[in-house]
Homo-oligomer: A and B are copies of this chain.
Amino acid sequence: MKLKIKQATLMEHLNYVIKGISSKNLIPILNCIKFELTNEGLYLMSTDNEIAIKTFISQNQIEEIEKLGDIVVSGRYIYDIVRKLPNEFINIEEVVDNKLFISTKHSSFHLNCNNASEFPTLDLEEHKHPIVLKQRVFKNIISQTSFATSTQESRPVLTGINFKLVEKQLECTATDSYRLAKSMLTIDTDLTDDINIIIPTKNLIELTRLFNDDEESLEMHIFNNKVIFKFGTIVMMSKLINGTYPDTSKLIPTEFALSMKVNLSMFFDSIDRASLLTNESDKNTIRLESKENQIVVSSNIPEIGNVEETLDVTKNNDHEIKIAFSSKYMLEALKSLDCEDVELLFNGEVSPIIVKNPETEQLIQLILPIRTY
Is B74 within 8 A of A108, CB to CB? Answer: no
Q: Does A24 contact B (CB under 8 A)?
A: no
Q: Does A370 contact B (CB under 8 A)?
A: no
CA gap between A111 and B308 in the complex, in Å? 12
CA gap between A277 and B86 in the complex, in Å? 18
Q: Does A109 contact B (CB under 8 A)?
A: yes
Give chain A interface residues in 224-275, CB to chain B under 8 Å.
266, 269-270, 272-273
Residues of B within 8 A of A81 (CB): 273, 276, 307
Is A306 within 8 A of B269, CB to CB? Answer: no
15 pairs, A vs B, C-beta closer than 8 Å: A77-B277, A81-B273, A81-B276, A84-B272, A84-B273, A106-B270, A106-B310, A107-B307, A107-B308, A107-B310, A108-B307, A109-B305, A109-B307, A111-B305, A112-B303
Residues of B within 8 A of A277 (CB): 77, 109
CA gap between A290 and B311 in the complex, in Å? 74
* Nearest CB of chain B from residue A160's CB, rounded to whole Å: 34
Give chain A interface residues in 288-334, CB to chain B under 8 Å.
303-311
Q: Does A110 contact B (CB under 8 A)?
A: yes
Is A305 within 8 A of B269, CB to CB? Answer: no
**Known contacts A84-B273, A269-B86, A272-B84; is A305 also within 8 Å of B106 by CB?**
no
Q: What 1/0 mask marks residues of chain A from 86 to 110 whose CB sits below 8 Å from any chain B CB?
A: 1000000000000110000011111
* Nearest CB of chain B from residue A290's CB, rounded to whole Å: 15
Is B107 within 8 A of A305, CB to CB? Answer: no
Is A273 within 8 A of B307, CB to CB? Answer: no
* Nearest CB of chain B from residue A92's CB, rounded to whole Å: 13
Q: Does A80 contact B (CB under 8 A)?
A: yes
Q: Does A116 contact B (CB under 8 A)?
A: no
**Known contacts A310-B106, A311-B106; is A304 also within 8 Å of B111 by CB?**
yes
Closest B residue, CB atoms, query A310: B106
Is B269 within 8 A of A304, CB to CB? Answer: no
Residues of B within 8 A of A109 (CB): 277, 305-307
Is B309 within 8 A of A106, CB to CB? Answer: yes
Closest B residue, CB atoms, query A99: B305
CA gap between A86 and B311 in the complex, in Å? 14
Top 9 closest A-B pairs, CB basis?
A: A111-B305, A110-B305, A84-B273, A109-B307, A108-B308, A80-B276, A110-B306, A107-B309, A112-B305
17 A-B pairs besides A81-B307, A107-B273 with CB distance below 8 A are A74-B304, A77-B276, A84-B272, A86-B269, A100-B305, A106-B266, A106-B270, A106-B309, A106-B310, A107-B307, A107-B310, A108-B307, A108-B308, A109-B305, A109-B307, A111-B304, A111-B305
Closest B residue, CB atoms, query A74: B304
Residues of B within 8 A of A77 (CB): 276-277, 304-305
* Nearest CB of chain B from residue A150's CB, rounded to whole Å: 28
CA gap between A55 and B86 in the complex, in Å? 47
Q: Does A85 contact B (CB under 8 A)?
A: yes
Closest B residue, CB atoms, query A107: B309
Is A84 within 8 A of B269, CB to CB? Answer: yes
CA gap between A99 and B300 in the complex, in Å? 14
CA gap between A106 and B107 in the complex, in Å? 63
Closest B residue, CB atoms, query A109: B307
Give chain A interface residues in 162-219, CB to chain B under 8 Å.
none
* Nearest CB of chain B from residue A276's CB, rounded to whole Å: 5
